[in-house]
Amino acid sequence: MRTDIKRTMEQARMEMDILSKVYSKVRLLSRDELCVDNSDDACWRESCLGGGEYCQDCVSVMSIEEHRQKTKLKYIGSELYEVTARYLEIDGKPYVMELIQTLDDSDSNMENAIDSQESQDAEVFYKALYTDALTGAYNRRYYEEHLKKRVLSAGVAIFDLDDFKLANDTYGHDIGDRILKTEVSVILNLIRKTDSLVRIGGDEFLLVMPGISQDNFDGKLREIRRLISSAEVSNSHNQQITVSIGGVMAKNEAICDVAARADRYMYQAKTHKNSISTEWGIIEMPEHAVLSAGKKKSDQCILVVDDSEMNRAILCEMLKDNFDTLEAENGEEALDMLSRYGRRISLVLLDVVMPVMDGFEVLEKMNSKGIIDDIPVIMISSEDSNTFIRTAYEMGVSDYIRRPYDAMIVRRRVYNTIKLYAKQRRLTSILSEQMKDKEQNRQIMVGILSHIVEFRNGESGAHVQHINVLTKMLLSRLVQKTDKYDLTWQDRETIVMASSLHDIGKIGIDDKILNKRGKLTDEEFEIMKQHTVIGASILEELTMYQDEPLVKTAYRVCRWHHERYDGRGYPDGLKGEEIPISAQVVSLADVYDALVSKRVYKKSFSHETAMKMIFNGECGIFNPLLLECLKDIQDDIYNTVYAEGNEMFDSKDKEGQGIKKLYEKSVNFGGGAEFII
């Protein structure tokens, strides 16, 4: 059989002359021609019969790969074609002779042989088999079975949505799906029928544009980037979407190899977001990123730590095409470089046994300084006992490479680890921004709430701010002095926030009593005391949030911020440590600020007088330890609360005339007993 396929070019031409009398079209294709998708005569190519799309079962490609003849029937619209691909070796080189016959109704009864409905079903089946159900792009299966091994000259790009995971997690999968659909429809609108867009996985897409010039491809990528970033995603809280794009030109290369190269460029673009990085340079990026982008081959710098110059040289040699490298010959030098270059180092390759400071000591330092979370470490050693490797992982290394190194594996692992960390860094910074926004909103809400109470109470808005600051200062002094109360940083934050709510119960007290200018009668005082219980019950009725630390703490603060250490406070007469520490701290802060502020029933006292009154027990008895704290920080209090506070009152007075006017006429300078209200 082998001799049957051998021809000279002359023999082949003669044969074609004869065959073209029988077939509607006859053509000879070399391996190169077969794979280059020349769109000018695309309609003539067997592989392009399908209106310009790749055939899903190109017999010519199969024929040249399997070295044998292949035949198929294909419907294009309503016309049926018979395509035969013959494998030939002409002058020793592989060729395919394509024989194409149009089978029309009049001179063929083939249509009876092939049921047209069945054929259409097959087309539908293939379409479904190779289409991504969500986006309408080709799916991974199409890539695996028809694209990855193809050798083409084409523009090839990888697209990856920026922060897609975050959008998915924050806004839900429904929005995530819409984002993907939007992206794909933008791209599909911009590409030709002969191009393929494949959803490789998750939010990663591969675009293959056969036969396109570099200039046109460049233009296409820019346009895609621009249109995606200005696309609107329906019902998505105005979510803007952006992509990072890596682009390369394939010159008669297998798509899978080219895609891997494009992926590396995509990853470079990822460090800037909303950018395009290509073999011919970074062609577009958001303005803020332009400054930070160097002219180097990559922004990724690897620190290679090994005491043997030889080993360092081998590693650097393996990495130098893709990364910049720095070298250190022992642990101490490595730490020095880490502190000098910081996050400009993307990854550390770390040997274990070294003089001066070994690899494990470096890891220990990186852990204690917290840099191991930012800069990944891959450990390298010929030590391969399991305990050794386990210890390395426990100390936070991302990966472990054994000697002897394999260049490809080293590059791949380094690249994957950097990719993972870059993504994580971006996510972390976005997350912390969102947390900050949420936290601010929470503070605004609590601020508004407590201000409502103060407004009714005719107090200046500064009271709550003062209570916040004083509570915070007292608490941080308290934890310095003792660990008796076991207050974490979070506990303290919660108490500070709860302190804003200490007087919410006053919303339930009659205006006439609340703003009475003279001394309260015993009966009125009993009613006034109820603000503690009312505040607590308001919180108790919030059934939904009962387990929230803020609600629990606010309950204690509201109910017990008028209790006193000797049991003579109200409403429950709790004594000593029966009073939760949160309420104890807030009550001391409350008393100080009440004393130095002007109220409808009293003038303001100076800082010194207020301190004296508190220490003399004129406002009730407090926890001696808290009084010590107050004493320790009194200068700070004077500077941050009292001095600033008086300034604030003055300016507030000017602005808040409407509110204050009512009370200014008859300020009550009277008695001290009410201060504990």
Partner 1 sequence: MDIKECYKEMGADYEDVLRRMGSDSLVERFTLRFLDDKSYQMIKDGIAAGDAETAFRGAHTLKGVCLNLGFSSLYEVSAQLTEDLRGRVIEGSEASQAAVDREYQRTENAIRRWQNENRG
Considering beta carbons, is residue 48 or 304 the nearer one to partner 1? 304
Q: Alpha carbon of 357 to those of 328, 398, 401, 502: distances in Å?
A: 11, 20, 20, 55
- Residues lying near partner 1 in the complex (CB under 8 A): 307-311, 313-314, 317-318, 351, 353, 355, 381-382, 403-408
- CA dist 512 and 359 (Å) reads 74
At its nearest, how many Å lie between partner 1 and the CB of residue 139? 34
Considering beta carbons, is residue 257 or 307 the nearer one to partner 1? 307
Q: Alpha carbon of 225 to those of 175, 283, 288, 489: distances in Å?
A: 20, 11, 16, 44
Cross-strand pairs, 401: 380
At its nearest, how many Å lie between partner 1 and the CB of residue 411? 10
* Per annotation, catalytic residue among 37, 162, 195, 203: 203
Do 675 and 594 form a contact (C-beta atoms < 8 A)?
yes
Q: Which amino acid is at 256?
A: C
Considering beta carbons, is residue 309 or 433 the nearer one to partner 1? 309
At its nearest, how many Å lie between partner 1 and the CB of residue 345? 23
At its nearest, how many Å lie between partner 1 and the CB of residue 312? 11
- CA dist 66 and 84 (Å) reads 14
Q: Which amino acid is at 473?
A: M
Is the omega angle on the peptide bond into residue 571 within 30 degrees of 0, that is, cis? Answer: yes
Q: Which of 160, 156, 276, 143 is nearest to 212 (CA)?
A: 156
At its nearest, how many Å lie between partner 1 and the CB of residue 382? 5
Considering beta carbons, is residue 311 or 515 the nearer one to partner 1? 311
Do 407 and 318 form a contact (C-beta atoms < 8 A)?
yes
At its nearest, how many Å lie between partner 1 and the CB of residue 91? 32
CA-derived radius of gyration, the chain: 38
Look at the chain and count its residues: 677
Cross-strand pairs, 301: 324, 345
- CA dist 465 and 522 (Å) reads 31
Considering beta carbons, is residue 235 or 385 the nearer one to partner 1? 385
Q: Which amino acid is at 542?
A: L
Over 59-75, what HEC string results?
A: HHHHHHHHCCCEEEEEE
Considering beta carbons, is residue 11 or 382 the nearer one to partner 1? 382
At its nearest, how many Å lie between partner 1 and the CB of residue 262? 21
- CA dist 440 and 175 (Å) reads 25
At its nearest, how many Å lie between partner 1 and the CB of residue 403? 4
115 belongs to the catalytic site: no
Helix axes 164-171, 173-190, angle to 10 degrees: 140
- CA dist 252 and 192 (Å) reads 20
Considering beta carbons, is residue 127 or 403 the nearer one to partner 1? 403
Q: Which amino acid is at 117?
A: Q
Considering beta carbons, is residue 310 or 544 the nearer one to partner 1? 310
Do 357 and 332 form a contact (C-beta atoms < 8 A)?
yes
At its nearest, how many Å lie between partner 1 and the CB of residue 389? 16
Say which residues have a Cβ less than 8 Å from residue 385's Cβ, sequence separation at least 6: none
Work out the burial of residue 511: count CB atoms within 10 Å of its CB; fewer than 13 is exposed, 13-18 middle, 19 or more buried.
exposed
Element (H, E) at 80: strand 79-90
Considering beta carbons, is residue 348 or 498 the nearer one to partner 1? 348
For the annotated catalytic residues, the residue numbers are: 203
